[in-house]
Amino acid sequence: MPTAPPRMATAAVYEAPNTPFVLKQFPLRPVRRDEVLVRVSMSTICRSDIHSYEGRRPNPCPGILGHEIIGVIAAIGEDIERDMRGEPLKIGDRITWSEYFFEGQCYYREVHDMPQKCQGLRKYGHDLAAEDPHFLGGFAEYCYILPGTWILKLPPDLSDEEATPLNCGVATMAAVTEAAAISLGDNVVIQGLGLLGLYGAAMAKARGARCVIGLDAVPSRLKVASNFGVDHAIDISCGGAQSVVTQIRTLCPPDGADTVIEVCGIPEVIRQGLQMLRVGGRYVLAGLVNPDANVTIDANMLVKRWITMCGVHNYHPRHLIQALDFVMANRGRFPFKEIVDAKFALKDLDAAFKKAAERTVLRAAIVP
Amino acid sequence: MPTAPPRMATAAVYEAPNTPFVLKQFPLRPVRRDEVLVRVSMSTICRSDIHSYEGRRPNPCPGILGHEIIGVIAAIGEDIERDMRGEPLKIGDRITWSEYFFEGQCYYREVHDMPQKCQGLRKYGHDLAAEDPHFLGGFAEYCYILPGTWILKLPPDLSDEEATPLNCGVATMAAVTEAAAISLGDNVVIQGLGLLGLYGAAMAKARGARCVIGLDAVPSRLKVASNFGVDHAIDISCGGAQSVVTQIRTLCPPDGADTVIEVCGIPEVIRQGLQMLRVGGRYVLAGLVNPDANVTIDANMLVKRWITMCGVHNYHPRHLIQALDFVMANRGRFPFKEIVDAKFALKDLDAAFKKAAERTVLRAAIVP
Amino acid sequence: MPTAPPRMATAAVYEAPNTPFVLKQFPLRPVRRDEVLVRVSMSTICRSDIHSYEGRRPNPCPGILGHEIIGVIAAIGEDIERDMRGEPLKIGDRITWSEYFFEGQCYYREVHDMPQKCQGLRKYGHDLAAEDPHFLGGFAEYCYILPGTWILKLPPDLSDEEATPLNCGVATMAAVTEAAAISLGDNVVIQGLGLLGLYGAAMAKARGARCVIGLDAVPSRLKVASNFGVDHAIDISCGGAQSVVTQIRTLCPPDGADTVIEVCGIPEVIRQGLQMLRVGGRYVLAGLVNPDANVTIDANMLVKRWITMCGVHNYHPRHLIQALDFVMANRGRFPFKEIVDAKFALKDLDAAFKKAAERTVLRAAIVP
Amino acid sequence: MPTAPPRMATAAVYEAPNTPFVLKQFPLRPVRRDEVLVRVSMSTICRSDIHSYEGRRPNPCPGILGHEIIGVIAAIGEDIERDMRGEPLKIGDRITWSEYFFEGQCYYREVHDMPQKCQGLRKYGHDLAAEDPHFLGGFAEYCYILPGTWILKLPPDLSDEEATPLNCGVATMAAVTEAAAISLGDNVVIQGLGLLGLYGAAMAKARGARCVIGLDAVPSRLKVASNFGVDHAIDISCGGAQSVVTQIRTLCPPDGADTVIEVCGIPEVIRQGLQMLRVGGRYVLAGLVNPDANVTIDANMLVKRWITMCGVHNYHPRHLIQALDFVMANRGRFPFKEIVDAKFALKDLDAAFKKAAERTVLRAAIVP
């Protein structure tokens, strides 16, 4: 049982793009009947945190970044009795929760079952630190969980390193894998072998893919890829785009890959990805999260070859459950724990961001 | 009962691009056990015939163009007893048949149920007239139906004008409509109101679309559109692309169209089409059948808005049945007969092509 | 603009099974911030109201029955600004709303998108009249709409007779039609031609069914069936079950119906329904809403013929929108207004129930 | 390279139900242009062979039983150049092939992509031995492969024990697994742990099932189940049907299994299977291959709980490829080789059938 939350707690405040984080204290207030307060166990730095920090994407400041978070319940409102799967919740439980929250009715949720696209949706790590309840981001000692968040209890034998990326990277890949509609025996190509790509490879294998081909240019990523289900890791910096397409078509007889998944964030790769697919193949785009990802494609190829392209962004609450269940069922098969390969104290957040931005670590964790 | 086929018959031979068709006689031989010979009742000029004739697309010459054909069985091989739906076939029956044929096993057919994409597939209207059996195109008095073709018997009360486009335009639109995955109450936009677009509008209505919006710049097409299920026919030559997008978003509350269908063959419209869609919307491309239909799109928009784009080309045999059933069930509701709005004798094929190319007729028919 | 609601209003109270309804007055209180109060325009008697009234199904008493209701907003809480499609709501608007409501998170809603199966779901027409807010059923002058209800604004040109059954019978048939997965050109059999069956026939047609066959034993229903899209109305009381199966197999060449829909509530028809289907066919059960609908089937037939059977009960909120859009788009084609073929004042509710129970009217309406 | 086929070869002839097999010689003739002749490497005894042998199912006699077969190409017709995936074929290649064959067009293949349900379909192991080409079953030295069969080349490192069941049991389970529509994280129950059930468990795991529960009453099967992906093997002979249902509902929080798969062939288990499912769950029946598998179900439960039941019988050609790819990708994870746990010479076929019928072996193999 954790001790009662203190009166004040510390956060690493993002004051402006490209300036050092500043440790500050803010008051903790009692939870309302439909809120939870957690003591943060671990937060990991997502690529979008880096985009915010580097000013390539607007984020309110001063604020508290971080949305890949897990924590232990320190206080729980009287209306919150169970998690999204019906498990009872109490003080001391370690939990994950959706990176976004939304209250009320919205057309996209009610009609199209896309709560992740509700108008007025809010995300953790995207608020002003000065406003109540101050703590709504991962890089802090505490975090409030507001109404309209989906909460999921974590099993005790799951490590923090495996649990922390669940609510962003892993759940997104569960959504991507669903959209990829992988059949038993499919050949799957993954463009980009960061956290998303490595989890994507493991999920493709876990769905019965026969052959998973991973593409990247970072040697350290190519090296670990085989541990995560990648059968062929191809260095795209060798030999030119056309050579990569040719290699893949050779590896996927008789006529190319069934599915290509883009999680590298580079629009130019789309043209090559299309050329890797068989007639009737499927292309899922998920890494192109920044505006103006312009690319020129030959629409005739889509027509003649019955290609389907679809985009995926964020995830449905069911994917958070799938992410957890996937990791629990496959943690003996794939060393997910190793993806979080560096830990930092809250006071060392600048150093952590530096390493993450340089890609010298796969996923940097903060243990506040 | 038709009379026995003569020894010789006439075809309008395509000798070279942009030169007049030449009437020639070729011998008719007895059908083999797995062949059918039909006396052509009517052929219509498809846009791809015009592309071939104008030399924008390779086609063997001298040859016989035309693949939208119906005819009456003049001779039937002993192995052909029934049509693809199990109906008995005999001399004198009026039939339609798939525009393509393929014999033997092929990966795309056996594994992916895409017989329309078999390697080595042949199409009617795409052979040398000099080679046996000479008659494999629509602009001739007779046509052989070779093994690997899907044959479908026509009901007596269907007019030739309604029946002839079934095996190309209408069946293709059945494939497009399936790919469009229209739900009851959907808002559907159709880019292009030629034969494909008009049938597409009628099919969208027949699938329960609430509102069908048709886009074109040809006044005569916009004028007839409402007869074929188009609720709002918008002239895209008025007001600019952005204005069209705005109009459509207003007509499709709360956040845009569920589905957009492209059947106009102009790559540039894709950017606008994407902007008309709601989050989670679906874009079917079917008109971009010529190579290098390059278009620049913002892939981030696909990602952020969960858009699906898919291409459709030709059709599955089931769509030929669907095309016929659709026309039979809806011919009282939509005046399909009027789409074939000009008839010509075989000797007047040049004049027919001229009018079709100019778009002064919707669909020109040859009655040989 | 309606006048302000009075202090007291009248309801026809269901005091015990099989006893006359009693007119009583209850107080109207101001709406809370997340509630709406409507002046009831019309309520219709659903078969389940009759089951409750006749004591074959538990319902709290004394209570107010009736859940197929429409009404005009008399008072609206400050938090309710828009309907489920984003349309603004205000006093004086005529609306329909989901027959059920649910607040909070529930596994079936959050994970499986089945809000209609949330644990703790409540339905209109199923509460004690004595408890606040008293008015939660259709057979009364007013009705409160509580939080967690989906509200949908009605277009002005829709008649009350067309609008009232939307939120139960018609929306349920939208769910059934979706589950039936009707393709263009399908042959569809509907077992039972009450309100559900007639709307089901019209929807099957509106989805592109080639041939709709309706089965019933009530002459008046068989007589009107053709107005609602039924191509062949078969009297099952003539000729025995096997004869009906044979007729249907003859009407659906080459090997039976693609889809059978059960909306008659008689378990025995399932065996015949199975025999009507082609290999790979689909059977949707929706009328068997009473417990212990036991039926003996030959599971080997399901296996050998790849049959799919699925049950549908209530509906998803999207189906309420689909129901409205379907009726709006097809009210010129099918005379939905005639299905509500008798109107009664609130004080004549006993007479209305009597006629509905006897099936001498298709759908009895109360205009309180 | 194998030696040329001899003039005569030996088969174990099934002369009548329940009488000993008789070794006989028949002539081998040259292959026709569209045929293949294989030297049988191994055949396994399927449960349906036992049903035929014991006279519970009609099979022509005298005949050659056996349809789970692999062999090495001894002679190949000039028209057969490639396997169904496009791989070149030549004398000496070890192959598997579909247990059924069909030539020509058939409604179920052309329209519904169900070649396994073509009218006039023939199966290996179901012909008279006296008629040309004599060798069309597995329990013989040679076997002809006739036109309309799907052939698939086997990789060299796959053992005969892993390869032989591919074309019946394993491919059927690929079809079942597809019909089961397993999502990442699903809870799956399998009724029956014979060869079908064990492969089904492994496939469910390979599709990402979180928890697989296997039910049987044979101790030896329950014992090996955990090697094939079964997380909980439950002995249904202990504690009664209701206790089993209760156990499963406890193991699958919050409300039961997502999918139940029946491969035990006992109609009575269906009632229990239905009770194990969550709302919206899916039940695939595949073991009930004998006529009159009558079972009484409560159709109201299907309705109220939105249950889907579907039957699967035989398989699509794509499932043969999936079966091979699945075994190749997962043979290090699951000991498929051990399922074929007894080998016999052709002359000992009686002994092999005896052990298989007694269930003292899992799968008996003949090495002729």
Nearest to C299 among D255, D288, D307 (CB): D288
Determine contact, residues D70/D154, Cβ cutoff 8 Å: yes
Evaluate if residue A351 carries a pLDDT over 60.
yes
What is the CA angle D288-D293-D296, rounded to 5? 120
What radius of gyration do chain A's Cα atoms show? Answer: 21
D289:C304 CB<8 A: yes
Task: State residue C272's pLDDT score.
Answer: 96
Could you tell me the pLDDT band of residue D2, with boundaries at 50, 70 and 90? low
How many cross-chain Cβ pairs, A to B, lie less than 8 Å apart?
A: 136
Burial of A144 (0-12, 13-18, 19+ CB in 10 A): buried
Residue from C172, A114, C114, C101 nearest D280 by CA: C114
Instruction: Tell me the pLDDT tens digit for each residue of B101-126.
Output: 998 889 999 999 999 999 999 999 99
Tell me which chain B residues have a C-beta less than 8 angstroms from the C-beta of C203. 184, 208
Residue of C nearest to B82 (CA): C254
φ/ψ of residue C198, rounded to 5 = -70, -45
Condensed to tens digits (0 to 9), the pLDDT of residues A83-95 reads 999 999 999 999 9
Q: Do A105 and C86 touch (CB under 8 A)?
A: no
D6-40 residue pLDDT tens: 999 999 999 999 999 999 999 999 999 999 999 99
Residue of C85, C178, C207 with shortest CB distance to B254: C85
Q: Give ∠ CA D164-D168-D171 in degrees, rounded to 5.
A: 100
Per-residue confidence at A360, pLDDT binned at 50, 70, 90? confident
Which chain D residues have a beta carbon less than 8 Å from that of B81? none
The whole-number pLDDT of residue A340 equals: 95
Please provide the size of chain B in residues: 368
To the nearest whole Å, the CA of A302 is away from the closest chain C CA by 24
* Partner chains of D (3+ C-beta pairs under 8 Å): A, B, C
B185 contact C CB<8A: yes
- Residue from the list B210, B322, B324 with its beta carbon closest to the beta carbon of C325: B210
Given A280, A294, A306, which is nearest B298 (Cβ)? A294
Query: Mutate which of A113, A116, A117 to disrupt the C interface (most C C-beta within 10 Å)?
Result: A113
Tell me the shortest Cα–Cα distance from D299 to chain B, in angstroms: 27
Checking if the pLDDT of D86 tops 70, the result is yes
Residue C1 pLDDT > 80? no
CB neighbours of residue B143 within 10 Å: 32
Nearest residue in C to B331, CA atom: C210
pLDDT digits (tens, 9 = 90+) for C232-256: 999 999 888 889 999 999 999 999 9
Instruction: Count CB neighbours of C27 within 10 A.
Output: 12
Q: Write out pLDDT tens, residues A41-55.
A: 999 999 999 999 998
Kindly tell me if the per-residue pLDDT of D232 is higher than 60: yes
Q: Is the pLDDT of residue C57 over 90?
A: no
Residue given tokens 């050659």 in the structure block: D64
**Torsions phi, psi for D321 (to 5 deg):** -65, -45
pLDDT at position D204 is 97
pLDDT given for residue A58 in this prediction: 84
Tell me the HSE value of B179 on the side-chain side, using a 13 A CA sphere. 30
Residues of B in contact with C206 (CB under 8 A): 184, 206-208
Q: Is the CB of A299 less than 8 angstroms away from the CB of B270? A: yes
Closest Cα in chain A to B289: A300
Chain B residues closer than 8 Å to A305 by CB:
311, 313
Quick one: average pLDDT of C48-61? 90
| Contact status of B112 with chain D (Cβ, < 8 Å) | yes
**What whole-number distance in Å separates Cα of residue D267 and Cα of residue C66?**
41
pLDDT above 60: residue C332: yes
Q: What percentage of chain B exceeds 90 in pLDDT?
A: 92
- B176 in contact with chain A, both atoms CB, cutoff 8 A: no
Of A164, A140, A165, A141, whose CA–CA distance to A21 is shortest?
A140
Chain B: give the shortest CA distance to residue A311, in Å. 4
Average pLDDT value for residue range D175-196: 97
User: Is the pLDDT score of B312 beyond 70?
Assistant: yes
Residue C191 has pLDDT above 70, yes or no: yes
Over residues B160-172, mean pLDDT: 98
Is 60 exceeded by the pLDDT of residue D176? yes
d(CA A292, CA A271): 16
What confidence score (pLDDT) does residue B290 get? Answer: 86
Cβ contact C207–B203 (<8 Å): no
**D105 at C interface, C-beta within 8 A:** no
CB contact under 8 A, C107 and A113: no
Contact C203 B210 (CB under 8 A): no
Angle separating helix axes C269-276 and C241-251, nearest 10 degrees: 30
Amino acid at A238: C
- Within 10 A of A192 (CB to CB), how many other CB atoms are there? 25
List phi, psi (to 5°) of C178: -60, -45
pLDDT computed for residue C2 by the predictor: 59
Is the Cβ pair D254, A184 closer than 8 Å?
Answer: no
On chain D, the residues whose CB falls within 8 A of the CB of A321 are: 185
End-to-end CA, chain D = 18
Q: Name which of A31, A36, A119 is nearest A80 in CA terms.
A: A36
CA dihedral D220, D223, D228, D229 (to 10 degrees): 140
- Which of B185, B324, B328 lies closest to C325 in CB terms? B185
Q: How far is A330 from chain C (nearest CA, A)?
A: 21
Q: What is the pLDDT of residue B271?
A: 96
- Closest to A69 (Cα-Cα) out of A90, A91, A38: A38
Q: What confidence score (pLDDT) does residue B2 get?
A: 60
Query: Contact D326/A208, CB-based, under 8 Å?
Result: yes
pLDDT exceeds cutoff 90 at A292 = no
Cβ pair D192, D216 in contact under 8 A: yes
CB-nearest partner of A111 from C84, C107, C110: C84
Search chain C and give the residue with CA nearest B212.
C329
Chain C residues lying within 8 Å of A325, measured CB to CB: none
Residues of C in contact with B255 (CB under 8 A): 86
pLDDT score of D1 = 53
CB contact under 8 A, B110 and D84: yes
> Distance between CA atoms of D311 and C282, rounded to whole angstroms?
11
Give the model's pLDDT for residue C58. Answer: 84
Name the residue among D263, D216, D52, D289 with its Cα closest to residue C299.
Answer: D289
- Nearest-by-Cβ selection for B208 from C86, C255, C326: C326
Q: Inform me whether the C-beta atom of residue D183 falls under 8 Å from chain C C-beta atoms.
A: no
Q: Is C266's Cβ below 8 Å from some Cβ in D?
A: no
Q: What CA dihedral angle connects B218, B220, B222 and B228, to 10 degrees?
A: -130
Nearest CA in chain B to D98: B110
Residue with tokens 């016999």: D344
Establish if A252 touches chain D: CB-CB under 8 angstroms: no
With a CB-CB cutoff of 8 Å, which residues 140-159 of chain D face chain C? none
Q: How confident is the model at residue B240 (pLDDT cuts 50, 70, 90)?
A: confident
Chain B residues within 8 A of C207 when measuring between CB atoms? 184, 206-208
CA distance A105 to chain C (A): 7
A204 touches chain D (CB under 8 A): no
Answer yes or no: is pLDDT of A154 > 70: yes
Per-residue pLDDT, averaged over C286-309, amounts to 95
User: Are the beta carbons of B288 and A309 separated by less than 8 Å?
Assistant: no
Set of chain B residues whose Cβ sits within 8 Å of the Cβ of A296? 294-297
> Any chain A CB within 8 A of the CB of C249?
no
Is C332 near chain B, with CB under 8 Å? no
Mutation to test the D interface, candidates A325, A326, A328, most D Cβ within 10 Å: A325
Cα nearest neighbour of C183 on chain D = D112
**Predicted local confidence at residue D290, as pLDDT:** 86
Chains touching C, CB cut-off 8 Å, 3+ pairs? A, B, D
With CB atoms and an 8 Å threshold, state whether A206 touches D184.
Answer: yes
Comparing alpha-carbon positions, the chain A residue that sits nearest to B286 is: A303
